[in-house]
Every structure is written in structure tokens, then in C-alpha cells.
A and B are shown apart, each in its own frame.
Chain A
């Protein structure tokens, strides 16, 4: 049946079969080769960050992908499909154009679970905050919930001054022994200074000309979002086949991770920092 086999004849049936067979083989090999070539081209830090975020976001459960406008009651039960990037979201641009009607249970500046929320900060879904300074630079830090999860002995592995950051790319790492957790960068820009826990901030960034911060949470959105994140944390800490009890009051412990020594530190922190 194949041309190199003794007795092969160029009959219509043989030609059809061969054409189909070789087409299928060509499609499989071609697709795989294209994937391999593209993968080779993807081996650049920025591109890898994009890919990593693509999978991390895709792996998030639906309840962790609630749209910011669902927190304030502007839309009903909407799930984000845009990687938390409101800058390119058509729904966001439509909603922000109409007057706000909110049913948020928190008023602006109110503090759920004893978590301090600064009124002059913008919040990223990966638990970082951004403060716009008077000179136009941005100061980046970790919010109180994530700070409570980071163990005191762990080290912050901050990028060098001059490093270029991208939204939802790698901001910095926390490392403890062989474990590490990645903090997502909330903004685009160039690192101009590094700090640490003691300094009260982790990075200072010059956003340059493109300081588009529309994707960051602010005002009335922050309270309900933080509440839902505390619930997500409770689920991560809870048993799998029992009902998760979601307390609607109380104050979070300062150092949550230290109070749950039996949990995988890396996993809990990574989950809250949106790493799958």
C-alpha cells in the first residue's frame, strides 16, 4: 500500500489513503514543531511572566475571580475573564461610565476583620498596595492580610534597581529555606528604590509615561474584596470534606502563618498571592 513496498500500485484507493495518512502525520508533526519553536521563543523573562500569570489566573477557582464591580453591587455575580486587567476590559469601561449604585456593606475606609486599609492606597488583587507619591512615583507594599501570612524569618528577594516590572508579572519573592512565594507586580514601571518590611514598603517604581492604574481596587471595592479574601484564606486553611465555617466577625491574628505550623507555608501564601 505504500510506495516503497513491493507490489504497490498507484490506484485511486491507495492514493486517497496515503494522502489522508500523510496529511494527518504532517498536521501532528507540524503542530508539535510549531509549538516547540514558539516555546523556544517564549523563553524570555517578560514572556514567561505573562504565561505564568495566564495559567495562574486560569487555575483560580471561580469564587476567587469575582469581578470588582460585583463587590460593589454594580453587576450581579460577574466573574472576571480578563486576568484582573480592567485596563483592557470592555465591561469595566462601560460600568465606570455610569453613576454608581452600591450595596457594599462597607463604607469607604471601614476596616473588615481588623485589617487596616489605607484610604489613599490602591490595591492589587495579588495583595499588594500602591501609593501614588506627589512626584508621580509609585510606592509598593504588601497588604496586612498577606503580611500576616509571611513568616518573620523569611527573606524578601527584591529586584535590583533598574529592573522593569510589568502588571501581573513577578514583583518580588519571599524565600524561606527551599520554599518561595512570588508576589505579583501591581504596576508597570522601573524599580528606582528597594525597601523591606522595616521600611514599610518594598519597592518604589517610576511608572514613566504609562501610569495607568485603572485595574487597581479603590474606595468601596476594597472592603468587600478583603472580606472575600479572608474567606478564601479560611477555605485554604480548612478541611476539605467538612463544611468551612466562615466567621463574620473577629479580628485576624497578626501572624497567621505562625499559628498554623502544620500547614504548608509556601502553599497557603502562594494561593493568597494568586500563584497556582
Chain B
């Protein structure tokens, strides 16, 4: 059977016109492993919600476990949604429309996944509204909660017209009209999304301005905003386009189709590279300031934090040089010259760098001793924590696969057939 044609595809009536998708049976077969992971993760989440956090290996010392690390990481990687929307609707970079729908789906997956994990971490989901009704006025995370919730609503509204544009759904007149009108308000939503993203990405970094009990992560800055407030915004804006580039490439490889033109890859690389250069520069200044002023003012030695294996000085070198400076130069100066494979490899490094940064700011921060009687601690997540983590990954893969199959995520796909 010719796999490139939609014959044998039982759900052909739902597949967009002009594109070819694998047979429905094969699609289901490929989803089975992810569905199994999803089921195991669901059981783990049930255990955590029913029995409490004793199902995890977190404790009073390790209050930031793998979940918070995951949260910070996927929210940073999901920044591609707001940044692409900002570039298309506000700065009018029309070339990026080719990946805009995909970016929205990825943003939706990342933010809904993050909120899902937060729900398990915080517990008592039926009382989630307490956060809004009785907010903790002393917590930066209140602003984060407000912003993330609002932004998830924005992403849902942005995702809705993509879903309603499905070949079958748009035959319903009300859906057709609604998706058209939702499209018309997209510039407003893109502006709101950008505003919210800037603040919640920043507020996640702002947390470290009050973390005085952990000098490894504590940062000073301007008024109530520590330097990490700005670094989190810039790093997320830099990683977002790289993650979009990477996911587009993966979708292209898995489906064995060209989905966007090379100049879209090049533009994403250039944007990501430019922002990453700025980030690396500011991060270097921040690190030097922290080493030479912040930590000494607390009566400690900055280098002393890097003497604890396995988190030696290599982690700082890897974060700033290997996964920061090197890919930024590749992306910035190689976007017009290098082959797509190099850009993809550089994007992988950028994403690793951001994930490593979030790891350092959470797990490593809590591992290091802060008091003279403290000792270095290693935290190993329980299977429930890992299963809940993988649940979000599987959830993302399934939602993206379904969206790719039934929705028009890449408008250039038909054109790419002939190029």
C-alpha cells in the first residue's frame, strides 16, 4: 500500500485536504506506548492526590523536586508560543505564520502540562480557587499563578480557531463564524499573551530575589526585581524559537515531509541566536557580580558552591559556554550558511542549556548546604514523581500528534510538496 496517500485512512474525513497522513491503524499503533505511559502516569497522579506528597521523595529540605524543575523548564520552552505570536501579530514577521499554529499548540501543551503538574504538587485540586480568592500577598508565585492561568485561557482561545478549522468542524456554520471572529481578535490576544508571559516568566525568576536562605540562587537587582527576573524573560524568549525549530524538525522527520521552508528555520535560528547572545552576556555579568559582590557580602565564598560533586564548576561552564555561547554563535552566524541539521543541533543545545539553568536554580540550589551544620544532599525522585513527569510528556506527544494529524499546523505543507 502506498503510505503517502490517504487510502486506508479510516478517518480521512477529518484529515485536512491536500495533505497526506499515515493509515489510521499505524497512527494508533505508534500512539500505544504513549497511551501506556499516560495510564501509568495517571495512576501515579491518583496516588499523589489520594495519599498526599508522602508518595514523593520531597521533604522540607527538598521542597523543589522534579516537578518544579519540570514546570520551570516547560514554561521556558513554551515561550515560543507568545514570542512567535508577538513576532507575527505585533512585529508583522509574516514568514513565521508557517509555524504559528504549531507554536500555539506547543504553548498550550506546555502551559496546561505545567498547571497539571502544579495541581498534583500543590494538591487539593478542588480548592484550587483558593489561590485566587485568598492569595498569599507575600508570594511572587501569586503573580505567577494569576499570569499562568490567564495565559492558559489566552492559549486556549488561540488554540480554539485552529481546532475549529478542522475540515469537518468548519462545516458547522457557528464554528466557521466563531473561528473567523477569533482570528480577528488574535492581535489583541497576542499582545495580552506577550504581556502575561513577560511577567510570569520574570516572576518565576523573581522568586530568587527572596530566596535569601539559599545564597547559591539568591540574586539582587533593581527595586523588587532581582537580576533573575530579567534573565528568565530573556532566556525563555531565546529558547522558545529554538524549541519551535526543534519540534518542527521532529514533526518533519517523523512524518517524512517537508513542513516549512528553509528560510523559516533560518529566521527562527537567527532570532534565537540573537537573544541568546544577549542572554549569555547578561548571565555572565550576573554570575561575576554574584561571585564578587553578592556572595562575599553574605560572608561566603562563591567558588565554594562549586566544590560539591557532582555539581562542580563544569556545570557553570556547561550552562554558559557549551549550551549558551557556542549554540548562540552557531545560530546567529550560521543561520544563513549552515545546513538545517546544524541549526537543529544548536537548538537542541539551547534547549538543554535552558533546562540545565532551571535545574541549577532548583535542584542544585537545594542540594547545596547553606548552614555550617548542613550537608550536601542528593535527591532521587520516586517512581510516582517520574511517572507524573512522563505523564506530561506523553500528554504533549499525544495532543501534538492528534493536532498534526487532524489540524492544519503547517500551512506551507502543501507547497513544500513541490519544492
Number of interface residues of A (CB under 8 A): 48
Roughly how many angstroms separate A21 CA and B145 CA in the complex, as a whole number? 12
Roughly how many angstroms separate A90 CA and B316 CA in the complex, as a whole number? 59
Main secondary structure of the interface of A (DSSP, over half): helix
Contact check, A239 vs B5: say whether CB atoms are below 8 A apart: yes
Contact check, A235 vs B17: say whether CB atoms are below 8 A apart: no
Contact check, B181 vs A42: say whether CB atoms are below 8 A apart: yes
Roughly how many angstroms separate A51 CA and B178 CA in the complex, as a whole number? 10
Main secondary structure of the interface of B (DSSP, over half): helix
| Interface membership of chain B positions 176-218, coded 1 if the CB is closer than 8 angstroms to chain A and 0 otherwise | 1111111011001100100110000000000000000000000
Contact check, A35 vs B154: say whether CB atoms are below 8 A apart: no
Say if the beta carbon of A244 comes within 8 Å of chain B: yes
The answer to whether residues A63 and B184 also contact, given A43-B177, A270-B17 and a CB cut-off of 8 A, is no
Q: Give chain A residues whose Cβ lies under 8 Å from the Cβ of B195.
A: 24
Q: Give chain B residues whose Cβ lies under 8 Å from the Cβ of A27.
A: 188, 192
- Interface members, chain A 243-276 (any B CB < 8 Å): 244, 262-264, 267, 270-271, 275-276
Question: Which A-chain residue is minimally distant from B419 (CB atoms)?
Answer: A63
Contact check, A31 vs B177: say whether CB atoms are below 8 A apart: no
Q: Give chain B residues whose Cβ lies under 8 Å from the Cβ of A239.
A: 2, 4-5, 20
Say if the beta carbon of A2 comes within 8 Å of chain B: yes
Contact check, A24 vs B196: say whether CB atoms are below 8 A apart: yes
Say if the beta carbon of A241 comes within 8 Å of chain B: yes
28 A–B contacts from the bound complex (CB under 8 Å): A1-B137, A2-B132, A5-B134, A24-B192, A28-B150, A28-B153, A28-B154, A31-B192, A32-B185, A34-B181, A36-B181, A38-B184, A39-B174, A39-B180, A43-B177, A48-B173, A54-B180, A55-B180, A235-B417, A239-B20, A240-B4, A242-B4, A262-B2, A264-B7, A264-B12, A267-B12, A267-B17, A267-B18
Identify the B interface with A (CB < 8 A): 2, 4-7, 12, 16-20, 132-135, 137, 142-143, 146, 150, 153-154, 157, 165, 170, 173-174, 176-182, 184-185, 188-189, 192, 195-196, 256-257, 408, 411-412, 414-415, 417-418
Closest 7 CB pairs of A and B: A42-B177, A35-B181, A39-B177, A1-B137, A61-B415, A39-B178, A239-B4
Identify the A interface with B (CB < 8 A): 1-2, 4-5, 7, 14, 17, 21, 24-25, 27-28, 31-32, 34-36, 38-40, 42-43, 47-48, 51-52, 54-55, 59, 61-63, 235-236, 238-242, 244, 262-264, 267, 270-271, 275-276
